[in-house]
Each structure stands twice: as structure tokens, then as C-alpha cells.
Structure 1
Amino acid sequence: MQHYDLIIIGGGPIGLACGLEAQSAGLNYVILEKGCLVNSLYNYPANMTFFSTSDRLEIGDVPFVSNNAKPTRSEALEYYRRVAIHRKLHIKLFESVEQISRTNQENDEINYTLKTNKAEYQAQHIIIATGFYDIPYLMNVPGEDLPKVTHYYEEPHFYALQKVAVVGANNSAVDAALETWRKGAEVTMIIRQSEIGSRVKYWAKPDIENRIKEGTIKAYFNSEVAAVRQDEIDIKTPEGIVTIQNDYVIAMTGYQPNLDFLRKIGITLSNDEVLKPTYDEETQETNLPNVYLAGVICGGMNTHSLFIENSRIHAVKILQKITGKEIHQPNY
């Protein structure tokens, strides 16, 4: 069994930031990622543009240079890949953590045993930086399990000349609607609210609103999908059920963190709908000694409160707590 000073669960930007700080502190560490490098970013739409500027996505004082002020997904993948390779970060990919248990030593030193789908490890400290992009919110309607329904949108060409329903009204839904429409899809948006989401990127919001106003993209507001069938869908609208012809459903209904995993290992959550994990905001340490949270997982179900740009500092806080030393803080 391999023993580490620190194991970091999650190989996204914040997990990599934690790895960089651990490396600088001289710790024996490893990053365990259940998918590919920066797996969540990899699953973003192919043509996605970040809302943040490139400097706000930098980690470990490594410059992020992009062609435009707002970097693209491909530029971000290149940047984080370059950081991981150039800094020789110790990362094990496609290895998911399945179980964590505490094992106290005779000298009362705290240790944890981690079991993955490939191996078993021990560590004195654990950082959980697992993000929230793995578990989609389901519509919970008949037919949602049909192959024509997806909760992850990749790129628009596949939907050319097809009748496409896009569910949702925030950034991912707006991007999917505009991109597929521009590639020749007949697009219908199904929106639970009365308007396009207020957090939609400022350059996309007037675009989608104008397309809806002119009728080139059809939108049902205050509505939701009631059922999905092979060639059509039912939409529950304020006027009643409307049935339309349909080839594909892109359900951009949002995603949620794996809070069950936190519960399973003993981290307590708040008793309200936010389900915010218990942790010290000065050190990021949870109610489990030597177990820390970093990144968007800290917000519980409030996944819009933390991003790469305001979570990078978590790595510094945690490593200061682990080492007991003041750490140079990057220009965050």
C-alpha cells in the first residue's frame, strides 16, 4: 500500500492548484482523477467561451495567454495540460475513489485509507476538489432514458437539419440553442422561468432574446417537458399540454455535486436545501480532521457561488494549515 502526506481527489483546475502548492511545500502527494485531466472542462461544449478572463483562470503563477480576453475551452485545456506536464504534477487518471476510512496509529497520528477502482492508499491529509459536473439534474419524465435525450452538449454539427428541443435558460442552454440553430437545426427552447436567465453571458443574452423575438427560435416560457417519445415530446405550458415533433432533446438542466460521497465518509452537511458541507473557511478543514474541501464543492447545492477564479486561494489556505507555514500567495 502506497503512503502519501497528501492525497488530492479531483484533477480539475483547483485540484491542480492544490497539487502545485503541495509540490512547492515539498510534500509527498498524488492527485487522483476519475476521468481525464480536467475532466469537467473536457466535457464542456466544444465551442464554449469562458465568462472569466484568462488571468483569472491562472494557477500557480503560470501565465495563461489566450487569443482573446475571454479564453475558449480548447485554450483552457491546453493551458491546464501544459501546467500539469511542465510542472510534472503527480497525477493518476481514470482512477475513482470509492471508499475512505480513518485508521489511527499507535502514536495517535491520523491516517486515512483510500480504496479506488485500481489500488489502495494511505494518507495523512486529504483534499476533496471534486467539482459538480458529474451528476445532472434529471427532468424525471417518461422517456428521459431514450437515446435521443442528453444532459451533455458537445458540438452543433450533429444536430444539423434536426428538430431539437433545448431545455433550460442559462449559459449552456443558450449556447446549445444558438449554435445548433446556426448549423441548421429547428430549435425549440423549453424554459421553466418567464425569461432567459440573468446570468447568461452579456454577449449571448441579446442574441438569444432577438432570435426568440423574431421567431427563428421558438420558446415556451413557464413550461417544462412532460414526456419524451421517439418522434415527439409533450410540453406542459400555462395553456395546457402542447405536443411537437422532435428528433433530439438537449436537457441543460444543470448539475450537482456528489454530496452523497461526502456524507458517506462522514462530512456533515447543513440541514437546509443548500446542503453546504461543514468546513472552516479560514483553513478549508472539514469536521473530519485533516480532510479539506477546495473549489465549488464547498458551496453544496449553491453551485453558482464558487468558480475557478475565487476558489484558487483554497489551495494556499489548505497548504498553510497542513505545513504550519506562511505560503507565498499568487496574485489572485
Structure 2
Amino acid sequence: METITYDILIIGAGPIGLACGLEAQRAGLSYLIVEKGTLVNSLYNYPINMTFFSTSEKLEIGGIPFTSVHPKPNRMEAMEYYRRVADAKDLNVHLFEEVQQMDPQGDLYGINTNKGKYKARHVIIAVGFYGIPNMLHIPGEELPKVRHYYFDPHYYYRQKVVVVGANNSSADAALETWRKGADVTMVVRQQELGSIKYWTKPDLENRIKEGSIKCYFSSNLAEIREREVDVQTPEGKVTLENDFVLAMTGYQPDFGFLQKVGIYLSPDEKRYPQYDPETMETNLPNVYLAGVICGGMDTHVWFIENSREHAVKIVQHIVREQNVTQA
């Protein structure tokens, strides 16, 4: 089969990847979006009852209105919105197609996936950070009872559940599983709860205060076994009966892929990728970053509402370059 050449190949079909496709389409450029999972794969992996902190207009892309029944939309509404955008604009998206290799080929880039081969004049990397969990690095973490993703609380009915973490995901998992009949214990490394949605935090604080949800602060999960766990507390080690561990310890971008294709990362623990904030172009000519990937390990810097502009910057830069070349 003949290899198709696109003006832009976009890696990632999250909201920002879709926004890049919309801008390319508006500019009359040929493009393809490839995604290793389903459409807006990160949102799909969010907890089933998740409510966004942002209002619906801040989640809009391409100037297409997002209407929601509630002041803050939920996961189901967001997925419905992005599906409708993809259909209404007939976006060129290939799902469940993973990029395996990307190499410069003269003025083009050759991209090999698990389903095909393509060439592109420009590449936009708009992958998220939800695919690789931050590990605990403790004995027993490999057991099937340990989950780094929390989806539906019903599964944990009448189970003894340990929730690790102190932020939004941990708070949601603890409250929702408790309400569905789980015996919940939280293990929090800090001295207090972290950054939690303002409508959730008082609820969790009250449940901890009354003892409905147990919580060990300034503590760490030390070891996981089939039927119990060890928690290292300021007072010493505590052993708890346990059925499931929900390790809500955050996630990180696929730094391995960035390094594999040749994008420079800062040598410190933040691992910031190198790019021009005015154009979003990386150290690789005609390769751009968009969305949360730009923040390295600071995964709470870029959101949908403040990185939608990346799509506009990138496509405007590509169009300017093409106009100069053609002049």
C-alpha cells in the first residue's frame, strides 16, 4: 500500500489532540489523529461518577458549544460532547492505533504504528499523562488486588479497602466506595489532606472526623500481602486486614516515547520537555507539543482550558512557515 503523506500527524485523541485536528481542518491542512486507545482515552479512564472542576465552556474546543445539565459537567457529558465534536466535524481519527516508531526522513517524518505507516511534514504530540501510574515501589504492589485506576465503587461493596493518596482521586475513591458499603482506610503521606474540590473536601473531613473513614496521616503503605497490608505510621507499623488497595498516587507522561523520538528533557526530577512557548515547537524541527505533556512531571499545570490555545499557536506557526516557503 502507498504511504500517505499528511501536512500534520497528531499523536493523541484527547481534547487537545482533537483541538489540533479542528485547527488543521480549519486551515485547510491535511491531517491524521492517531490514538492508542479510545477517543478521549484519559477521560474514559476517569472514575465513572467524576465531576469536572471546570465549567462546560472551559472544556469547549474549536468554538463548538458544550452544554451541560449541571454547572460543572461530569465524565459522561464530556465524553458525549467530544464524540459529537468528532462526528460533527468528521475528524480524521484512527483509534486503537499506537505509534511505535517515528524517524526523520529528509523534510518529512516517517511514522510507524501497529496498523500502518505514514509520512508527515509536521508532527504534534498531544499525549496525556494518564497511561503510566506513579508506582509505590513496595513489596506486593504487583498483586492483582492493587489498582492504580479507580472506576466503579460498587465493585468494592463489603470489602476492606485501603486508599493511598490525599488529592481528588483519593477523596473520590474513599467517599464513593464507603457510600457503597466498603470499609475504607486512607493512607496519607502528608500531615493533612491535599488539594481537593471544594465541594468534596468538607465531606471527607467530616467522614474522617466521625470515624466512618479511617485515616493515617504522615504515613506510608509499607507492604502489601494477599489478605493484609502494613502501614508505617509515626507511632510505628500497623497491620490491617485488607481486600483491595487503590493506589491513587498520580500518573506521569510517557517520557520514554519523548526520549525515543529525540525530544530533550530537563535533567532534574521535573523532566520538562524542551519547546518554544510561542510556537510549541520542540528541539526537533516541525515536531510540536500540546497539552499536559508540556508540563513534564508538573501534571497539574496544563488543563484543557489553558492548553486549548496550543492548537491555535501550532497551526498558525505551520501556516506561516508554509506561506514563507511558498513565497
TM-score, normalized by the shorter chain, greater than 0.5: yes
Residue equivalent to 2:274? 278
Task: Specify the alignment match of 2:47 in structure 1.
Answer: 45
Task: Write the distance in 2 (CA, Å) between the matches of 1:40 and 1:170.
Answer: 18
1:1-332 counterparts in 2 under 5 A? 1-104=3-106, 110-197=107-194, 199-324=195-320
Amino acid at match of 1:71: P
**C-alpha RMSD over aligned residues:** 0.8
Normalised by the length of structure 2, the TM-score is 0.97
Structure 2, gaps ≥5 residues long: 322-327
Q: How many residues align?
A: 319
Instruction: Using the TM superposition, give the Cα deviation of residue 271 of structure 1 relative to its aligned residue in structure 2, in angstroms.
Output: 2.0
**2:215 maps to amino acid:** A
Residue by residue, what CA displacement relative to the aligned partner does 1:93-118 show, whole Å, maximum 9, x if unpaired?
Answer: 000001110011xxxxx100011111
Query: Is the partner of 2:223 in helix, strand or coil?
Result: strand
Q: What is the rounded CA distance, in whole Å, between the counterparts of 1:86 and 1:150 in structure 2?
A: 36
Deviations 1:175-228, CA, capped at 9 Å, x for gaps: 00000001111000001001100x210000111111111111000011111111
Partner of 1:330: none
Report the AA paired with residue 268 of structure 2: D
Q: Determine the C-alpha separation between the residues in 2 that align with 1:169 and 1:261.
A: 29
SS at match of 2:25: helix
For residue 238 of structure 1, report the CA deviation from its aligned partner. Answer: 1.0
Q: Within 2, Cα distance between the matches of 1:30 and 1:120?
A: 12
Structure 1 Cα separation of the partners of residues 259 and 279 of structure 2: 20
CA distance in 1, matches of 2:260, 2:93: 24
Q: Which amino acid aligns with 1:317?
A: K
Identity score, percent? 65
- Counterpart Cα distance in 2 of 1:211 and 1:196: 13
Q: TM-score, normalised by structure 1?
A: 0.95
